[in-house]
Amino acid sequence: MTDDEVLKHKKVPQPWLEHTRHVLHARADLEDPVEPTSGSQSVGVARSSETYGGKPGLKIQVATDARAQSVVPSDVRGVEVEAVEKEDWRTACYYDTPDNITGGLPIEARWEEGGQSYTGWGTAGLPVKDSNGNERLLTADHLWENKPCQSSEGEEATQYTQDFGKVAESQAEPDFALVEKTNSSLSLSDGIHEENRTLSVSGWFPEEAISELVSEGKSVHKMGVTTGKTTGTIDAMNQSLGNGCGNLENRGVVVNGIEVGEGDSGGPMYRIEDVLGTKHAVLVGHTTHATNINDTASCIGEDRDIGRKAAGHAWFHKNNEYDITI
């Protein structure tokens, strides 16, 4: 549905529909008495092994401490209730798969080596135009780490399990790659997809404006798929990190006190500014490096290092030296 308009109808067996409605009502009845008395973490609905009209049915599931499971009833209004151990859910990953691809969404570097396939996880910086006016998606070049200090042109990219395209241009020192979209079912859209909204992008800070941000220790946001939107202060600019080929060409911006982790590479660094009475994202750089590692976060089944200082290639340098525009 969209608003009050039904966009698609689907037929289901009448017994299944009646069962489903009954389960949802029973779940609502169970929520209030169970949660305060048992210390349960959540009450929800899960798939059942029973079938109704040939379709799998539903059951109520209560996540709770082991010691409290004895007070969870076995059924409510004839609906099966299952008690399970509560889990330690973490909100370390922010994945979304809309058809309009913006900055802040996942992008994966795919390559094959020795007969095996590998994936480098990262974050989309922003849809941009290259020096010839072609639409590209910006991310970090080092995601294709099978070719350190070499061009990753021609390598494949996916957008969270769906085909996206191939690297059309890459630069190792400033650490960026421009990916050509070849999936016709996807579209590129200017903006930054935060955890609960999409911001329009109005432009980028020139070098003089970056220096003013540094001098005043202004706040800068970054969006990445591992740690989400986090905020720190911009402490340095025009930095060369001395990290092999990915030295940011003496145009690195450094943001301190910001949570950043593996998988955030390629994502946008920006400030939110009032432009003609409307809030817009104004670009500072895109994330490529992290340091001050002191924590880990669980993300897509693996632990990723989390740091408190980020660095990235300045947007003004991409525009001035590589003619990359938004």
pLDDT in 10s for each residue of the chain, 326 residues? 434 554 446 688 999 889 978 887 887 776 554 443 444 456 777 778 889 999 888 888 787 777 767 778 888 889 998 887 775 444 457 766 677 888 999 999 988 777 777 788 899 999 999 999 999 999 999 999 877 778 889 999 998 768 999 999 999 999 999 999 999 989 998 899 987 788 999 888 888 888 888 888 899 999 999 999 999 999 888 887 755 677 888 888 999 999 999 999 999 999 998 877 888 899 999 999 998 888 888 776 678 889 999 999 999 999 999 999 98
Q: What token pair was written down for 9?
A: 């109808």
CB contact burial 6-45 (16+ within 10 A = b; e otherwise): eeeeeeeeeebeebbebbeebbeebbeebeeebebbebee
Provide DSSP, 87-146: ------------SEEEETSEEEEEEEETTEEEEEEEE--EEEE-TTS-EEEEE-GGGSTT
pTM above threshold 0.85: no
The partner residues of 162 in beta bridges, in order of sequence, read 159
DSSP 8-34: ------HHHHHHHHHHHHHHHHHHHHH
φ, ψ of residue 96 in degrees (nearest 5): -145, 155
244 and 149 Cβ atoms separated by less than 8 Å = yes
